Structure 1
Amino acid sequence: MRRNDNSRRRRQDNLFFFPQLDERLVEKGVQALKNKQYVQARDLFEQLHELDADHPQAAYGLSICYVELGEYERAEALTEDMLKRDVGDYFDVLRLHITVLIQKRRYKKVIEMIEAVLEEGDVPPDLEVTFQQLAEFSKVRMEEKTTSEVIQDEGHAPHIGREPRDNIDLSGLSSIDPEQQWLTIQKLQHSLSPEDYPQLEDFLTSDEGDPFIKSIVLKTIKDSGFNGIIRVKKFGDTYELTPEIDILFYEGFSDEVKVKIKEVLASDNPTLCDLAEQIWQHFIVAVYPKPLEPDNTDVWAAACSLYTYQINGIETNQDALIQLLNVFERDVQNAVGLIKRVEESASGKKL
C-alpha cells in the first residue's frame, strides 16, 4: 500500500514545530552510516521513524543498522513491514530482507519469496540472476542443514556475526564456501564505502576469483556511485571499466538474444526454453565484460539453445537450427565452447 495524503498530513503535523527536522536527521544518519557508526545511526533513524513510519530513508537506514548490529529479529520485522506497505524501493528492501533471512538461515522462506517474485516478472535482469542463484544456494543449504540448524531456521539467528563490526571482511569473496561469498556480497550492497575499493579491485584482478561473483561485485560498485576506473580479470584477460558510464551485462544485446531463443524453443519445448533463458542470463553476467564474438544475436541464440539441448541429453538437428538462424557452424561451435567454459567455472555450477 502506497502512502496516501493522510499519512503525509500526519507527518507534517509531527514536524510542524521542527522545520526541516527530518532532513537533518536523515543527513546525520546517513553520515553516521558512512562512518560505520551504527549505534549512532540507529538512534537517529529511530527518531525519524517514530515521527514518520512511512519515511523511506528512515525505515531503510534503520533496517541497515539493525543488520549491522546483529539485531536480525528487528531487521526482519521492519523490512517485512516495508514490503507489505510499499515503503522505499521495493527491490532494495527485498534484497535486504533476503539478506536477513539468509543470516537467520531461513532458507525455505528465501526460496518461497524469490520464486513468487520471479513468477510476477518485472525483475531487473541483474537482480533476476542474483535471485535465481540465491534460491539455488538456499535449496542446497536446506539439504545440508544439521538438526541444530533446523532449530535456527525456526527463527533463531546464529550467534556468529551478531556483534557490531567496524568493517567488512572481504576475504569472504574468495571463500570456497558459497554461503560466505553471498553473505559478503549482501553486506557490500548496503554498506560499501570508498575505502573498500582497493581491496575489491584486488579481488577483481585475482586469477582465482569466481567470474559470476566478480560481476556482482562490479554491479555493487556501480550502484555505490563509484566514478573512477576499475580493473577486472576474467578468463586470462584484464579489462578496464568505468562503472559510472559503462553498460553492464550487454544490456540490449542480451535482450535480443532472449527473444530469439524464445522464437527457436518456446513453441516446441517451453520448459527447455525457460532453462535456456536462465542459462543465457547467468552466462552474460559471469562472462562480462569479455567481448562476445561475433557480435551476432542469432549466433548466440543458436549456441545457447544447442548447449541447453546438450546438457539435458536431448538430441536435436543442429544443421536445421543453424539453417533456421542463418549462421555459420564454426561461429556457433565457438560460442557453445565459451558458454560451456563459463558455466563450468562460475558459481552457479558449484552450489
Structure 2
Amino acid sequence: MDKEKDERKIVYFPNVAGKLVEKGMAALKAKEITKAHEHFSQLLEIEPEHPQGHFGMVLSLVEMGNLSEASERCETMMQQGIGDYYDIFQVYISILVQLGKYQKVVTMIEAVLQENQLPSNIAESLYQLLHFSRQMTSYDLDSEADYDAGHEEDVDKLIDYLESDKTEKQWLAIQKLSTVDEQKSLPVYLTYLNATNKDPLLKSLVLQVLREKELDQEVVVHKFGREIKVNPATLQDIFLQDFSLSVKSKLSDVVEQGNPALFEMCMQIWWHYLFAITPFEAEPSNSSVWAAAVHKVASEMNGEDVTNEDLRMFYEVKPSEFEVAANRIMNIENQPFYRPFE
C-alpha cells in the first residue's frame, strides 16, 4: 500500500514552473507553437492557477489559430483574477477583433475607458481599436466573419478582399490574414504596403501586424505620395514615443483639468493622426505646434470657442505654424472611411 502511495506521489524539481515558462516563451518566439503549447500545458498541470502559464497558453492558442478557445480562456482569466487584468484585456480585445466581434469590442473598450483606471499608454492604444470597431459595426460582415484561415479557398478569398474597393473588406482581410501561415500572408502584406492606391490607415494596420510578428527585414511603404523603407521589428510604439507623449503633456496642461471631454477628443485625434502617418513622423518636430494644432481641430469639431490668439498664448507658437499642422490633421480626418466622430 505504501509502495502504491509512493508511486502516485510526484516530486518536481525546484523552480520547474519558472523553467517551463522560459521554455514556453522561447518556443513561442521560435515559432515552435506545438512545443510552446506542451510546455504551458505541463505548467498548468503542476500549478493550475499559474498566471504566466495561462497567459502563455492563450498566446500559443492564438498562434495555433484556436481563437475561440483563446477568447474563452481570456474571459475566464479576467473573471477569476488570474494574471494582470489589463495585459489580458489587450490580448482579449485583439482576439475579438480577429473573430470579427466588433460590437463586443466597442462595448468592452467603452466600459473600461469610462472607469478611468487604465494606464495611460494602454488607454491611448485602445482608442484606435475602438474607432475601427465602431466603423465595422456599421458594416454587415456576418457572412464573411466565419472564414477558416486554414482553408486554401478562404485564404484566396481574403486575398481577393485586399483588392476590393471596399475598405471594410480590406480591413477584414488584414485581420484574418494575420492568423495565416506567414509564407502565404507575408507576400500579400508586402505587396499591399508597396501599392500606391491603398488606404494609408490600413497600411498602418499591416505594419502593426508585421511589428507584432517581429518581422526582421526591410519593407517598402508608400504613403501620401512618399516612399520609405522600414524594418517592422525595430518600429517603436507610436503611443510611447517621447515626442507624441510631449504633445499629450502640453495638451494635458492646457485642456484636461478644465475640459476633460475635450482633452479626450484631443487625444483621439492625435493618436489617429500619428497612426495614419506612421512610419513617417510628424513634421515639424515641435510639440507645441502640434499641441496647438490638435487643440484647434478638436475645438472646431466639438463646437468649442477658441481663437488663434488663445492658442498662440497657450502654446507660445505662431498661428502660421500651427494652422499648417491643423490642416494636415484635417486632411487625415477627412479620409473617406476613417471618421472617428460621426
Same fold (TM over 0.5): yes
2:212 alignment partner in structure 1: 223
Is residue 210 of structure 2 the alignment partner of residue 212 of structure 1? no
Between the aligned partners of 2:111 and 2:11, the Cα distance in structure 1 is 37
Amino acid corresponding to residue 128 of structure 1 in structure 2: E
**Paired residue for 1:233, among 205, 214, 222?**
222
Q: SS where residue 244 of structure 1 aligns?
A: helix
1:160 alignment partner in structure 2: 146
Contact 1:249 1:285 in 2 (8 A): yes
Between the aligned partners of 1:90 and 1:261, the Cα distance in structure 2 is 29
2:263 alignment partner in structure 1: 273
Is residue 81 of structure 2 the alignment partner of residue 83 of structure 1? no
Amino acid corresponding to residue 252 of structure 2 in structure 1: K
2:246 alignment partner in structure 1: 256
Between the aligned partners of 2:61 and 2:319, the Cα distance in structure 1 is 53
- Once the two structures are superposed, the pairs formed by residues 1-351 of structure 1 within 5 Å of their partners are 13=10, 22=20, 26=24, 30=28, 34=31, 49-50=44-45, 52-53=47-48, 54=50, 55-56=53-54, 58-64=56-62, 68-69=65-66, 72=68, 74-85=69-80, 93-102=88-97, 106-118=101-113, 119-122=116-119, 124=121, 128-129=124-125, 131-142=126-137, 160-162=146-148, 164-165=150-151, 169-170=158-159, 172=161, 175=164, 176-178=166-168, 181-182=171-172, 184-185=174-175, 188=178, 193=182, 196-249=185-238, 251-345=241-335, 347-349=337-339
Amino acid corresponding to residue 194 of structure 2 in structure 1: T
1:154 alignment partner in structure 2: none
Between the aligned partners of 1:56 and 1:240, the Cα distance in structure 2 is 38
Amino acid corresponding to residue 238 of structure 1 in structure 2: E
Amino acid corresponding to residue 147 of structure 2 in structure 1: G
Contact 1:258 1:277 in 2 (8 A): yes
Query: How much does 1:349 deviate?
Result: 1.5
Between the aligned partners of 2:313 and 2:167, the Cα distance in structure 1 is 44
Q: 1:48 to 1:205 in 2, by over 3 A?
A: same
Q: 1:239 to 1:332 in 2, by over 3 A?
A: same
What CA RMSD, in Å, does the superposition of the two structures yield over aligned residues?
A: 4.2
Contact 2:100 2:145 in 1 (8 A): no
Query: How much does 1:24 deviate?
Result: 11
Query: How much does 1:286 deviate?
Result: 0.9
Structure 1, residues 227-264: CA drift from partner, whole Å, max 9, x if none?
22222111110112233334342711111111111223
Amino acid corresponding to residue 218 of structure 2 in structure 1: I
Between the aligned partners of 1:207 and 1:332, the Cα distance in structure 2 is 29
Q: SS where residue 77 of structure 1 aligns?
A: helix
Contact 2:44 2:54 in 1 (8 A): no
Between the aligned partners of 2:101 and 2:339, the Cα distance in structure 1 is 22
Contact 1:307 1:340 in 2 (8 A): yes
Higher RCO structure, 1 or 2 (CA under 8 Å, sep 6+): 1
Contact 2:71 2:92 in 1 (8 A): yes
Amino acid corresponding to residue 111 of structure 2 in structure 1: A
Contact 2:97 2:175 in 1 (8 A): no
Contact 2:74 2:89 in 1 (8 A): yes
Q: SS where residue 120 of structure 1 aligns?
A: coil
Q: SS where residue 197 of structure 2 aligns?
A: coil
Amino acid corresponding to residue 76 of structure 1 in structure 2: S
How many residue pairs get aligned? The number is: 321
Between the aligned partners of 2:144 and 2:203, the Cα distance in structure 1 is 27
Query: How much does 1:133 deviate?
Result: 3.6
Between the aligned partners of 1:104 and 1:224, the Cα distance in structure 2 is 18
Question: Percent identical across equivalent pairs?
Answer: 24
Q: 1:342 to 1:196 in 2, by over 3 A?
A: same
Task: Structure 2 unaligned segments of length 5 or more: list them.
Answer: 1-8
